[in-house]
Amino acid sequence: MSRKPIPFLSQCLAVALIAFSTAVFAQDGKMYPIEAPDEPGAIPLETGGVEGQTEPESWFRQWGDPMARNISKATLTPVLADPEKANGTSVIVAPGGGFMWLSMGNEGWEVAEALAEQGINAFVLKYRLQPTAPSLEDFENQMNRRFEEADESSEGGEQNEAPERPRWDLSNQIADVEAAYSMILKRADEWGVDPERIGMIGFSAGAGLTMATALESEKVELAFIGPIYGGMNAVDVPKDAPPMFAAIAADDFLFNGKFGLIESWYEAGIPVEFHLYQNGGHGFGLGNPDRTSNKWFGSFMYWLEVNGFLKSAKD
């Protein structure tokens, strides 16, 4: 089934290009090509390829973190909690990267390991991406061009008014989430998953994918969602939307003084918790030194606990 992109995602994705151009290519963010790391336990989702993709999957390292691009084959990597502390709650983890690369370490594997330490089964989703240039140099030029286009489209708008953004088709990415969710349900007994307590957390573009899944998918029934430094524009919230925990820093370009997303959830009468941190910028993952946003993960765990998601089945 084809899906029409929603304005919330258009805003989030296009603006993400600005962050990539202004931060990723800074002198201290130089990209270095690396060999594809081992991904033990990664399970192919068999959702198909990417139209127009002629390049193989490739990896680079930046700020010490492994990044992947030109992903045309989606995978799911289970990071299961120790059975002695597992509580049955499970989370699909969606890294970010403007749908052109994935921050697999900072926003994927590291987050999954932290969740597993809390007794939560985590599943890192390596979803399909848009094609990018073959070489890192050409990739940089490609991102710079897109940044210029996004910057030009934002000129002339009124203050605090969302500029018109290009529309993005997330059919591939949502299909990847749906396949991951289906696999988790089929292997729930094997993996110790409570089918009624499957949530999703995403970062930046991954937060956008989390939102798209909650708002658009007819095949995924999430118990809760956690969009972390995602877009803040208002959305149409369905009556069966899941409870939401959202976090962003005040100095994040995606915030810009907007609370539309939070207001949308509140006005729909769906439980929502929102943390606006003084600082942290964009892409802080589990945290950076000396930033107030570093405490978000503990707050997320407490939110899950209060809402009954950390109780084991025997409790």
Quote the DSSP letter at residue 293: G
Q: Is-contact 293 287, C-beta < 8 A?
A: yes
CB within 8 A of 241, min separation 6: which ones? 214, 215, 265, 268, 270
CA distance 265 to 215: 11
CA distance 145 to 139: 10
From its phi and psi, is residue 280 left (phi > 0), alpha (psi between -120 and 50) or beta? Answer: left
pTM score, two decimals? 0.88
Which of 101-105, 135-139, 155-159 comes out lowest in average pLDDT?
A: 155-159
Provide the pLDDT for residue 13: 44
Q: CB count, 10 Å around CB of 36?
A: 11
Provide the pLDDT for residue 184: 98
- CA neighbor of 99 nearest in space, from 157, 158, 167: 167
Task: Find how far residue 188's CA is from the centre of its chain.
Answer: 23
CA distance 71 to 102: 9
CA distance 166 to 209: 16
Q: Using pLDDT thresholds of 50, 70 and 90, give the confidence band for residue 25.
A: very low
Residue 79, classed as helix, strand or coil, is: strand
- pLDDT tens across 67-97, in order? 999 999 999 999 999 999 999 999 999 999 9
Dihedral pair phi/psi, residue 295, rounded to 5°: -95, 5
